[in-house]
A and B are shown apart, each in its own frame.
Chain A
Amino acid sequence: MGAGFGQMALAEIVGGCREETGKFLRREPSDDRFCLELLRRAIVEGDQAAWGAAFAQYRGLVLGWIRLHPAASAAGEDDEYWTNRAFDRFWSAVGPERFAAFPSLAALLRYLKLCAHSVLLDAVRARPPAPPEALLDREAGIGAAPDAAAEVLDRLDAQDLWRAVNAELRDEAERTVARLCLALDLKPREVYERHPERFASVADVYRVKRNLLDRLRRSPALRAFSG
């Protein structure tokens, strides 16, 4: 970044950034330094006016990315909400100390695009998995029993629970089933397809899983969580 850019008035930087972005969109040769300087002032100097201008400059771009993302419809909320979340993440994840790690405007905008992706994927991951009890209700006509432990489960520390589960595992087959079935929500058929060297059949995976669930349900440390 030349000293000239650092000394320019913000209005000039904003105008230049807008102008050069227009050239870029028309596939004409363009100069990234205005927009890079705008983002530098926003991120490194914490210049609120530059933040506002950068948001205005790239809001439409991020909104377009959000609308393009395959997870947008599943994430809930509206596009504007995710656009704001993407910018929040971008500002906090880049930060003054990390700005130099992005050698170009293209690298920064690519990271902004990653932020748009990651806020949507966080929301998708946080959605609860489909409860097996629903299938039970539908197929076998069995109503779900009241779930007194659900509130406890909401408060538990997932890492503590995972450590407690791991303490109950006896071999590599159980470790595989715990990770793939409980943490990654794979079915035993999918576990067998990934690890035919570890299991004799799909039924064998079901056997390991049933043993594991029985043990977890008997475990004093896990009774509240595993029913």
Chain B
Amino acid sequence: MDCIQPGTIAPEDLLAFLDGEAPPAVGEHLRRCPGCAARARAYARSQDRLRAALRRIDCPSPLVLGEYELRLLAPEEGRRIAAHLGDCPRCAAEIGQLRGFLAAEPAPTAPGPVERVRRLVATLVAAPPRGAYAGLRGADDDDTRTYRAGDLTLSLSTGPSARRGRLSLDGLLWREGGGAVTADGGSAILSAAGGATETAEIDDLGNFAFDEVAPGTYGLEVALGDEHIVVEGVVLAR
């Protein structure tokens, strides 16, 4: 089919029209000229098919681009990707997007059960109130250390164990003002440096005990509902 006004528009104008970059006169001509409209449609179809089939044909995958960014690729492949990035605006844009994404952190979400727990690191108190409470334990000649975390005070005493070569560790908790230590009970977890743990229940009066503990340095975590008291570097020595 021939053009109704030969020479009005060039074949390149049809491609520019498809890109939305042709002057208005080209669109007006296409509305009136079935022959040029058919040619434009043929170009459109050619481009459409080729672009769909060849899209990013020689681009590395997003994962490989990311491994380049994280320097996980072998040197030779890294050089190949670097050369590609020099003349691929799409991959260069994706690398930029990846950098921004890796640098960004999500906004804090609702806390999970672990995050809801209030953790207090206990500090060693210089003057332990042994006189007032030691009688409760029946051991005023042992090695007692007193820690404080918030309104809680924790007294830890070590003594001999029934088992040879082991020690006992007794704990007593109380609140300033005399309130209940815990309404629902609680537990004390003693963790060795190697990862082994031992758990003891805390009674209504705030007492707990580990009866056969090997000498060493431990971490102690006292769990009272949503309140956890952490004592680091508990040294048990004979």
Contact = CB atoms under 8 A, between A and B. Distances in A.
Indicate the size class of the contact surface on chain A: 35 or more
Contacts of A122: 61-62
Contacts of A135: 17-18, 20, 44
Contacts of A145: 41, 45
A96 B140 CA distance: 56
B55 A114 contact: no
Given A114-B67, A136-B44, A12 B52 contact: no
A52 interface: no
Interface string B52-95: 11111111011100110110100000000000000111100010
A8 B56 contact: no
Interface stretch (B8-16, B152-160, B164-172): B8-16
A225 B54 CA distance: 11
A26 B12 CA distance: 62
Given A129-B55, A227-B42, A188 B19 contact: yes
A153 B87 CA distance: 27
Contact of A144 (B18, B41, B52, B107): B41
Nearest to B34: A142
A122 B98 CA distance: 13
A68 interface: yes
Interface stretch (B108-116, B174-182, B201-209): B108-116
A4 B63 contact: no
Contacts of A182: 47, 50-51, 54
Contact of A70 (B18, B58, B87, B97): B97
A220 interface: no
Contacts of A117: 62, 66, 97-98, 101-102
Contacts of B50: 161, 165, 182, 216, 225-226
A158 B15 contact: no
A159 B69 CA distance: 26
B109 A64 contact: yes
Contact of B18 (A25, A26, A136, A185): A136
Contact of A25 (B19, B67, B115, B197): B115
A28 B12 CA distance: 65
B18 A132 contact: yes
A60 interface: yes
B12 A133 contact: no
B63 A22 contact: no
Give 10 nearest A-B pairs by CB, closest first.
A64-B106, A121-B62, A206-B12, A114-B66, A118-B62, A4-B194, A132-B18, A118-B63, A140-B30, A132-B44
Given A153-B53, A207-B12, 13 more contacts: A2-B194, A5-B195, A8-B195, A111-B70, A113-B101, A114-B70, A118-B66, A132-B47, A136-B40, A165-B54, A185-B55, A185-B90, A213-B15
Interface of B: 11-12, 14-21, 27, 30-31, 37, 40-59, 61-63, 66-67, 69-70, 72, 87-90, 94, 97-98, 100-102, 104-107, 109, 112, 114-115, 117, 119, 194-195, 197
